[in-house]
Structure 1
Amino acid sequence: MLYSIGYTGLTVEDLINILQAYKVTHLIDVRSKPFSRDKAFNKSALQRALANESVGYLWKGGDLGGLGEITDNNLTWLKQFQSDKVACVMCMESDPIKCHRYYEIGKRLNRLDVVVKHIKVVTTPRLKFWIMGEEGQETLL
């Protein structure tokens, strides 16, 4: 199972709560540069926070980031990786349609028979999240 999420507007705690709600076991960071103005989302800090909650962390921005070419081999790796896990690719952009994880990862994986469920998040007035295309299935925290 493969999800995607963008963290803009979230705290690390919000992100972890959402990952836990979908039973995600591995977060795959697909930011080309794994750094943020919010230091909690810098690679090492995020990796520690996720480890404390038993969520694995992989930075794959060099292979699956938005600044370079995403090869078929890298998509095949992702297809195989997620085949026996509940994984989630993460980038900064909260709207999947404005992010490479929708077009460059999601659409291309669909052609390889992998369904990517894009998590949409709204943070005001209260944290709500749902799978894109399944708006009736929202969850409130």
Structure 2
Amino acid sequence: MEAADSNAVHDTPEGTLVSIGYEGKTVDDLVAQLLDEDVRVLVDVRLTPLSRKPGLSKTKLSEALAAAGIGYVHHRALGNPKDNRAGFRAGDPASRTRYRKVLDSAAAHDALAHVCELLDDGAVALLCFEHNHAECHRNIVVHRLLEARPNAAVVHI
């Protein structure tokens, strides 16, 4: 019977990762979607957390999230270099390889470990611009996190 209990523990989700892009959304839309997914903390994986869209730059976004009871963390080390983004969006294998190398840095390892710790307290959202997660570097971040947390649930919004 003890073995069955042990297997049950391994089958339960080890947190929930919510991958979300703000493309086409207002800050209110974003916050509402995060609340619907019971997100506790949003991890901004943009290299530079600035946006032309009102309310979606770091300070205003963190204020809107705080008002909704959601924490905000910016992990610059998980950002995709600006000169790598167009190729990445286009599916260029070299751009994807380059970004994977970014995640091999000590700073990125520390940031990924921190996100894993945050998962202990509930759902964590990873935020970037692109609506389609397959065109965004956060998809690779999700895969790296799943290496450490293979039983984490993943929701793409």
Q: Same fold (TM over 0.5)?
A: yes
The TM-score bracket by the shorter chain reads 0.7 to 0.9
Kindly indicate whether the alpha-carbon contact (under 8 Å) linking 2:45 and 2:74 is maintained by their aligned counterparts in 1: yes
**Where is the helix percentage greater, Structure 1 or Structure 2?**
2
Task: Provide the residue aligned with 1:27 in structure 2.
Answer: 42
Q: TM-score of the superposition, structure 1-length normalised?
A: 0.76
Identity %: 31
Structure 1 gaps of 5+ residues are 121-141
Task: Provide the residue aligned with 2:58 in structure 1.
Answer: 43
**Where is the strand percentage greater, Structure 1 or Structure 2?**
1
Residue 35 of structure 1 and its aligned partner are, at CA, apart by: 0.5
Match runs of 1:20-99 below 5 Å: 20-60=35-75, 62-67=76-81, 69-70=102-103, 71-99=108-136
Kindly indicate whether the alpha-carbon contact (under 8 Å) linking 1:96 and 1:118 is maintained by their aligned counterparts in 2: no
Q: Are positions 1:109 and 2:145 aligned together?
A: yes
Q: Deviation per CA, 1:1-20: give whole Å up to 9, x if none.
A: 22110000001111011001
Kindly indicate whether the alpha-carbon contact (under 8 Å) linking 1:109 and 1:116 is maintained by their aligned counterparts in 2: no
Residue 116 of structure 1 and its aligned partner are, at CA, apart by: 5.4
Q: Which has the larger radius of gyration?
A: 2
Structure 1 87/22 Cα, relative in aligned 2: closer, same or farther at 3 Å?
A: same
> Larger relative contact order (C-alpha < 8 A, sep ≥ 6)?
2
4+ residue stretches of structure 1 with deviation over 3 A? none
Structure 2 gaps of 5+ residues are 1-15, 82-98
